[in-house]
A and B are shown apart, each in its own frame.
Chain A
């Protein structure tokens, strides 16, 4: 019996315009369409494959505002068994480390977790470090950026693939934490039956106080790193544009010489 926890996050759709709120420089979550981050669906898929290969239970864990319920339902309709939703006004504006502490505390509330699976990087913050920080806080081995994952008995093996390092083969004993890349699998679509069943699956809701965390330790006012100012980048101005009259390549070469780029 493998108990798996999958971390999911709702993010603004990258196809819509994303903005920072003018008043407090946090992500303007209202202005963009919210979706289950694509990478999370792959994390859920990987958990379901492990469960289907043996025995296990898949719990979805989401830290986010009330409307993140949609992301949770999506994961449940794919086949996850139950969900934990940490939702608290006090969390607004929490930084990466504080968010990781809340996630770690919520995982700590669950019974005998064998494997934590997350996406390797969310498409909004792109901090890319939440899974590693959660592993640090829980004292678990981090097997991050997995493009292949295998659980053999009490051993977990991962092929870590990153753009800057190449492929690293990793191994650890359970319990462990894995983060997956977008290449690991193609997530299934929820079936109609799955969507109907999801409505009856249990979703437990916690506040930060339920997790034993003081509201004074999280949120924007208590962040360990703070944004002082933010401004939309002045749009890049379109420069010179010419039609190719047979000398287009030469003209680029002249431009590059003029800019001292060649």
Chain B
């Protein structure tokens, strides 16, 4: 069976959930080979969890350059391996850096790029959702090894046992005239809440929340559900919540199992970032709010009555 290369998305040896989604998708195309690009010693921390999601091989591309230059070491590692093993496809998470790595890799290999896929089919075609979910598209690569980036959260990760046989890959030295050097890093300070694009539940507040102080009603419901907190552009522009939590056309695109919209009217700009959520629940005072057109369950009422009651009911159920 042909190998399928999967770029492992990890931070300091902690594997991101999206990597397990890629390993699951890879199994529909062939045999998954995980590619670890990181500082020396990284592979030792991640091999076990990669094996639990079916990685037959783990290619270890470790060097000091791997963490001091942006994107280039990952492109180098994947390009080296793609030429050596002629994989059926290369899968990368469609994160900010993943999109860049996959684009550069496709250009370097002379391959077709299939970006931001929400599904990978056994025949090598992919499903894409464009214009904020308004169109479903099926695409295929017409040339070379398909390079596919997969939107985090769009595939359900399934465990499978893999041999995870390690093999070392030499990384070429990075040319500093062609690569940006990383001189410092400040990770997203997200506290205990899950990251927006990775969360399986998202609770968002909009203009209807009314002030920054009152956003704790949104946060309390989110915490009861183990959810990430999001905000509409209106709420961010009004200064109720920081911009890094904005969901929508100009913010983040989320696709959780459950999306709860509190005091959000549902302008098209917002819907573009959340309408592929599996289940949508909305609370709004205005019975005409467009958010109700896409909500699976809607309550017309004051979010300051409804949300605390829901928080309490969820907490009670958890015991």
**CB of A158 to closest CB in B, whole Å:** 7
Task: In the complex, identify which listed stretch (B24-32, B45-53, B154-162, B293-301) lies at the interface while the others stay far away.
Answer: B293-301
Task: In the complex, identify which listed stretch (B34-42, B204-212, B306-314) lies at the interface while the others stay far away.
Answer: B306-314
How many residue pairs bridge A and B at CB < 8 Å? 276
Interface residues, chain B, CB within 8 Å of chain A? 70-71, 75, 95-97, 99-104, 106-108, 110-116, 125, 129-131, 133-144, 146, 152, 176-189, 195-197, 201, 225, 243-244, 249-252, 257-258, 268-269, 272, 275, 279-281, 283, 287, 292-302, 305-314, 317
A221 to B294, CA, bound (A): 37
**CB of A95 to closest CB in B, whole Å:** 7
Q: Which of A127, A232, A250, A257 contacts B309 (CB 8 A)?
A: A250
Interface residues, chain A, CB within 8 Å of chain B? 14-15, 18-20, 25, 95-97, 100-101, 123-133, 135-137, 139-145, 157-158, 160, 162-173, 176, 182-183, 223-233, 235-236, 238-244, 246-253, 255-257, 259, 261-262
**CB of A206 to closest CB in B, whole Å:** 21
Residues of chain A contacted by B180 (CB below 8 angstroms) = 141-143, 158, 170-172, 176
A132 touches B295 (CB 8 A): no
Q: Which of B70, B96, B112 contacts A224 (CB 8 A)?
A: B112
Where chain B touches its partner, the secondary structure class is: mixed
A170 to B69, CA, bound (A): 9
B178 touches A141 (CB 8 A): yes
Where chain A touches its partner, the secondary structure class is: mixed
Q: Which of A123, A162, A242, A250 contacts B313 (CB 8 A)?
A: A250
**CB of B130 to closest CB in A, whole Å:** 8
Q: Which of B71, B107, B182, B281 contacts A255 (CB 8 A)?
A: B281
**CB of B94 to closest CB in A, whole Å:** 8
B104 touches A248 (CB 8 A): no
Residues of chain A contacted by B317 (CB below 8 angstroms) = 253, 257, 262
A145 to B258, CA, bound (A): 29
B102 touches A129 (CB 8 A): yes
A133 to B115, CA, bound (A): 13
Residues of chain A contacted by B111 (CB below 8 angstroms) = 224
Q: Which of A15, A140, A262 contacts B314 (CB 8 A)?
A: A262
B280, closest chain A residue (CB): A236
A96, closest chain B residue (CB): B113
Residues of chain A contacted by B184 (CB below 8 angstroms) = 168-169
B252, closest chain A residue (CB): A163
A142-B70 CB under 8 A given contacts A20-B135, A127-B116 = yes
Residues of chain B contacted by A228 (CB below 8 angstroms) = 125, 138-140
B142 touches A226 (CB 8 A): yes
A225 touches B142 (CB 8 A): yes
B185 touches A136 (CB 8 A): no
A164 touches B95 (CB 8 A): yes
A251 touches B96 (CB 8 A): no
